[in-house]
Amino acid sequence: MHRLQWEEAQQKDVILYPEGMVELNQSSAEILKLCDGSRTPIQIITELEEKFSTSGLTNDVNSFLEDALQNGWIQQA
Amino acid sequence: MAGSNKLKITPPRWLLAELTYKCPLQCPYCSNPVDYAKHSSEIGTEDWKRVLTQARKMGAVQLGFSGGEPLTRQDLPELVQHARQLGYYSNLITSGYGLTEEKIIQLKEAGLDHIQISIQASTQELNDHLAGTESYQTKKEVAHLVKKHGYPMVLCVVIHRENIHQMPEILAMAEELGADYLELANTQYYGWAHKNRDLLMPTKEQFEEAEAIAQAYKEKVAGKMKIYYVIPDFHEDRPKACMNGWGTTFLTIAPDGVALPCHSARDLPGLDCPNVTEHSIEEIWNESKAFNFFRGNEWMKEPCSSCDEKEKDFGGCRCQAYMLTGDMYKTDPVCSKSPDRHVIHEALDSARESALSADEQPLIFRNSKNSKKYS
């Protein structure tokens, strides 16, 4: 029902759904791109921390994933 | 009038493609112009493809195929396919009438993202009466088929005095049909609805009761079905932020190729709305008189021009201001700060009187015969 897509005109990733659109900031988009059904939340966090050479992302990522689940952007596998 | 040169023009995001004014239904609250019969020409497939391409290039991403009944256009699957290739999220806004399983599959393969079906009421008798066409059973079957083929399904029910008492049954019907979204659209009094306002406008008590029922249901189905509630602006004290601001987000193309900043704008005088057969979307959006007419806020009169809420609601709806006061520059009379607010009270009183009266007037149905009278 939701489609994640790069919008050239906006230079942004967006989520598209029936008659609506959410513009994503870069970090939200990075998280969502990893939600492809093949990774656990822990793997997503590890991968992001490696990619951006940082640590302590657990709380932020988890709370975003909860919101995303609530909004129906992702589903629990 | 025209916006100042310094004004930054944002690109369109939402394209509403009104493919045709033809429709097998005759709903008396239709938002199409009452004189649609005189705009019967339709632009061709290649024109529509060019419009889709040009608008997409500028940044339009949500696309509504609407009408009339868009299914009456034989080139719909071709247009859907073109839209998908361009990266639109395409929404089919349909009565469901004439939508077969074969067509549902064909449109899915073409890349259609979502189908919105309208149902007029929760009972066959009232649905078929309001639609002016026997369509209730078909619509319910189509709703099941839409779900079966994996589309997100939005059920749209326009709410007015004839069906507002069915709110509990409407909610239950939407849940039973497996709607992902239910749009409870309180009638907006434009076009045909304006003509039938005395007969369609519910009383304040009816609104409040229906809204409370819908709100309670919202919690019951949270996580399963989303409920959108389109507010009845006559009962508010601030106007709606119409079209998210004139020429900021929405672009409507009428069946004959006329480009409109909102779907009612062809009723406004002196806009000279441009046609896509003569101009590119970029020219229309950025340079045309019509799209610059109410951009920004230099056009505003008092009390809007000095109002601290003008950036929030943009003075409300230009079409409503024109329709109800005869002056399209005025504050939308829905606003309690408007010196014309009395016209809203008068409309509500008049509708209440009609609701309480035993002398029932017939609804004016949206059909070619009636439209010719207004043309």
CA distances in angstroms from B37 to B73, B154, B294, listed in the order given: 17, 29, 28
A interface toward B at CB cutoff 8 Å? 1, 3, 5, 7, 9-10, 14, 16-21, 70
Q: Three-state DSSP class for B344? A: helix
Poorest-pLDDT segment among B130-139, B213-222, B284-293, B353-362: B353-362
pLDDT digits (tens, 9 = 90+) for B228-268: 988 889 999 999 999 999 999 999 999 999 999 998 999 89
User: Rounded to the nearest 10 degrees, how much is the dihedral formed by the CA atoms of B93, B117, B83, B11?
Assistant: 50
Beta carbon pairs, A and B, within 8 Å:
44
Q: Give one DSSP letter per residue of B121-138, joined into a string.
A: -SSHHHHHHHHTSS-HHH
What ipTM was estimated for this complex?
0.87
Query: Mutation test of the interface with chain A: which of B89, B147, B182, choosing the one with the most A Cβ atoms within 10 A?
Result: B89
B182 vs B169: CA distance, rounded Å: 13
Q: Which of B197, B215, B205, B185 is nearest to B324 (CA)?
A: B197
Which residues in A lie closer than 8 A to residue B85 (C-beta atoms)?
Answer: none
The fraction of chain B above a pLDDT of 90, given in percent, is 93
CB contact under 8 A, A17 and B152: yes
pLDDT digits (tens, 9 = 90+) for B127-170: 999 999 999 999 999 999 999 999 999 999 999 999 999 999 99
Taking the CB of residue B317, how many other CB atoms lie within 10 A of it? 26
Q: What's the confidence (pLDDT) of residue B3?
A: 47
Q: What's the confidence (pLDDT) of residue B80?
A: 98
Average pLDDT rounded to a whole number, residues B34-62: 97
| Under 8 Å between Cβ of B268 and B326 | no
CB contact under 8 A, B180 and A1: yes
CB contact under 8 A, B180 and A18: yes
B358 compared with A54, residue with greater pLDDT: A54
Average pLDDT rounded to a whole number, residues A23-43: 93
Q: Does B152 touch chain A (CB under 8 A)?
A: yes
CA distances in angstroms from B104 to B25, B139, B150, B272, listed in the order given: 20, 13, 10, 38
CB contact under 8 A, B64 and A19: yes
pLDDT digits (tens, 9 = 90+) for B309-349: 999 999 999 999 999 999 999 999 999 999 999 999 999 99
pLDDT digits (tens, 9 = 90+) for B247-256: 999 999 999 9
**Closest CB from A3, A10, A19 relative to B59:** A10
Which residues in B lie closer than 8 A to residue A1 (C-beta atoms)?
Answer: 114, 152, 180
The fraction of chain A above a pLDDT of 90, given in percent, is 82
